[in-house]
Amino acid sequence: MPPVDRQDLDPALSAALSTQSYGAQIAIEGLRVLPLRAHRDDSGSFVELGRLDQAGALLSMPDFEVRQINHSVLLPGGVKAWHLHFSQDDVWFVPENSRVIAAFRDLRTDSPTTGQLQRMTLGGGQPVLVRIPAGVAHGLANPFQAPASLIYLVDQVFDPADPDERRLPWDEWGAEIWECTRG
């Protein structure tokens, strides 16, 4: 059989036809994704999240000093977005028995990636740490059927009298960001 071109297809379908991108996504400046190693055996698994030096800095990210460690649960259908810090950096970890959609938007005017949106799936057996710099809006969604956990480290202690926690509407850049990719 000879090859087929777009003009050989039904015109109504041809107009809706697209090609999925398999290229590397442009990474937001300062957003670090650090792969971790999961050790598995017959009885389960183990992942080392990090080691700290005497000052509380993560050895894998020496310029990040841990000041607080938090755990959050996101119920099925939940969206926690958009959050923004002016001076706080976060480091996120989603355990392998959880899965979330995470998205990040660079709002820093002096960044080479200003306005860049980066989206990824976290958890699901691919252990990583994700460092989110101040000025990068971030959020996550759980479109799946089970509750999901997020463990996150921050480099500032939360102060309820002066919180470094700003919010934007969850759908500021479209509700479809938080949906499962179909196709």
Q: Is 45 inside any structural domain?
A: no
Q: Is 5 inside any structural domain?
A: no
pTM reported for the whole predicted model? 0.86
| 34-37 contacts, C-beta under 8 A, 24 or more apart | 34/60, 34/61, 34/128, 34/129, 34/130, 34/131, 35/126, 35/127, 35/128, 36/93, 36/127, 36/128, 36/129, 37/127
pLDDT tens column, 7-50: 777 777 767 777 766 666 778 999 999 999 999 999 998 999 99
User: Looking at residues 161-181, what average pLDDT do you find?
Assistant: 95
Q: Is 131 inside any structural domain?
A: yes
In angstroms, the CA 137 to CA 49 distance is: 23
Q: Is 61 inside any structural domain?
A: yes
The token duo for 181 is 């990719």
In angstroms, the CA 42 to CA 148 distance is: 23
Domain span holding position 75 = 25-39+50-158
pLDDT tens column, 122-137: 999 899 999 999 999 9
Return the CATH number at 65.
2.60.120.10
Q: Is 167 inside any structural domain?
A: no
Instruction: Give the DSSP H or E segment for 69.
Output: strand 68-74
Q: Is 170 inside any structural domain?
A: no
Total tally of structural domains belonging to the chain: 1
The token duo for 81 is 């977005």
